[in-house]
Chains A and B, each alone.
Chain A
Amino acid sequence: MRLKGIFSTSIAIATGLIVLAGYFLALPLLINLRVVILNWAVILAAFAVWIGVVNLFAVHAQKFRQKKAGRFYSLVLVVSMLVTLIIGLVTGPQSKLMTGVFNMVQLPIEASLMAVLAVSLTYASARLLRRVDMLSILFLGTAMLVLLGTAPLPFIGEIPLLSDLIRPFIAQVLAAAGARGILIGVALGILTTGLRILFGVDRPYGGK
């Protein structure tokens, strides 16, 4: 490991241990240190946004220069980014124009993507029928039961037994138990991943 690697790994491990100890041991010094370090992390994350925006700009400027597929969209992105940046710098982030850009461009586009997602998921459910295995059949059957039990049907309304007994049992007993099991597993995974970083085995910072 090069000197830079040793230095960055030592800082990362020491910082991680201080923050971890600050959570578990109620010593004022450790708690204060933890708060200060986490505040630094938030400031660094905010600065990283700026670097990320520069990276996004570079990717699309390069795509446009090299005349790659979809270069027109890259041009639109670069121009929109610059215009939005200028509006933000001139009028301020809370101005009517800036919130207008957000409410009239960003929100409708994200809502449209949500609508596309509904179609994608319906299509995916249909594709699931191609997989002939027990779990897929169970997955689809459960989804159908919960759907029918949740949404009242026209002219019929709620389906007796399904709406008041089967759906609540699936959602509140089976699904809740399964979800808790998965969440315990995820928590254990997060714990061991964090420990690998504290050991210096995984080093996503400062190279190897």
Chain B
Amino acid sequence: MWLGLGGFGIVFIAACIILAVAYVRRKSPPTFREISSFARLRRGVGRAVEDGRRLHVALGHGNLTTPQSGADFAGLSMLSRLAELTSASDQPPIATSGDAALSLLSQDTLQAAGQIASRGVYEATNSRLTGLSPFSYAAGALPVIRDENVSTNVLIGHFGLEAALLTDAADRENAFALAASDNLAAQAVMYASSQDPLIGEEVFAAGAYVDAGPFHAASLTAQDILRWIIIGLMVFGALLKLVGLL
């Protein structure tokens, strides 16, 4: 009972912080520390539009009914924003995923972005389910990186070790690859194999860095505030333990 109420309290506090920050900073958006990967992504997107090449957003194989869905939704936000940014291009982005429900949502996201851009033309084949297991997903996404005139790859979502195959393929094609995952093992291989890895919870900061809206910036600020609260509680708990009160 108390555990449930505690959990509800954390969610409630987080919701209040996001709403408060979004309201207070509605006119002056916060500035965040520079992450070079996002700066290179912006250049990569611009170059893709200018050169008439494509953007590939790999959403991973996270299941939507598990906690992995957090990274999936971060990836879908990124896909939505990138589809809007490339709306001037006649080459719409391609999204690949390794989960059927995620694939459906990515189709919907691309369709919505196309409607906003008034492009009118939407092809269901721009969003692809390439495989249902981690390695079959990677095997199906490799030809997209190689054969679809892709110049910029964004790997964002839940990946495993197979992410290294995708970043390696992008490297061989001299294509830009931004790689981010919520999985620790994937982060390790992405750090080793990608020029532009996002480490830790930076995968959830992507929306704020690509200007996906004030709520993305507010939720990033809320994460920082909550992190400091947790650090404070941990130090306080350690001190209590040190003096023998816990």
User: Which positions in A face B, CB cutoff 8 Å?
Assistant: 20, 23-26, 38, 41-42, 44-45, 48-53, 55-56, 58-59, 62, 68-70, 73, 106, 109-110, 113-114, 116-117, 120-121, 123-125, 127-128, 139, 179, 181-186, 188-199, 201-202, 204-208
Given A55-B125, A120-B193, A201-B215; A48-B204 close (CB under 8 Å): no
Are A44's CB and B8's CB within 8 A?
no
**A125 and B63 alpha carbons, distance in the complex (Å):** 30
Quick one: which of A26, A55, A190 contacts B4, CB cutoff 8 A?
A26
Taking a contact as CB atoms under 8 Å apart, the answer to whether B14 and A192 are in contact is yes
**B24 interface hit (Cβ, 8 Å):** no
C-alpha spacing A20/B193, complex, angstroms: 38
Quote the shortest CB–CB distance from A200 to chain B (angstroms): 10
Given A128-B192, A202-B76, A193 and B204 contact (CB-CB distance below 8 Å): yes
Q: Are A48 and B100 in contact (CB under 8 A)?
A: yes
Q: Which of A113, A116, A196 contacts B216, CB < 8 Å?
A: A196
Q: Using CB atoms and an 8 Å cutoff, list the residues of chain B in contact with chain A.
A: 1, 4-5, 7-8, 10-11, 14-15, 18-19, 63-65, 67, 69-71, 73-74, 76-77, 80, 100-101, 103-109, 111-112, 115-116, 124-125, 127-130, 132-133, 135-136, 138-140, 143, 147, 161-162, 164-165, 167-168, 171, 182, 184, 187, 189, 191-193, 199-201, 203-205, 207, 213, 215-216, 219-220, 222-223, 226-227, 230
Q: In the bound complex, do residue B112 and residue A121 qualify as a contact, i.e. CB atoms below 8 Å apart?
A: no
User: Which B residues touch A25, using CB under 8 A?
Assistant: 4, 8
For B1, B135, B171, which residue has the most chain A Cβ atoms within 10 angstroms? B135
CA distance A42 to B65 in the complex (A): 8
Main secondary structure, interface of B, reads: helix
Q: Could you tell me if A125 and B192 are in contact, using CB atoms closer than 8 angstroms?
A: yes
- Once A49-B100, A55-B127 are accepted as A-B contacts, the answer to whether A182 and B65 lie under 8 Å apart by CB is no
B7, A23: Cβ atoms under 8 Å? yes
Chain A contact residues: over half helix, strand or loop, or mixed?
Answer: helix
Chain A residue numbers with a CB within 8 Å of B71 are 190
Q: Are B73 and A195 in contact (CB under 8 A)?
A: no
A52–B104 touching, CB < 8 Å: yes
Residues in A neighbouring B193, C-beta threshold 8 A: 120-121, 124, 127
Determine the distance from Cα of A88 to Cα of B143 in the docked complex, in whole angstroms. 27
Answer whether A185 and B100 are a contact pair too, CB < 8 Å, given A128-B192, A192-B222.
no
Partner of B182, one of A23, A190, A197: A190
CB neighbours of A51 from chain B (8 A): 100, 103-104
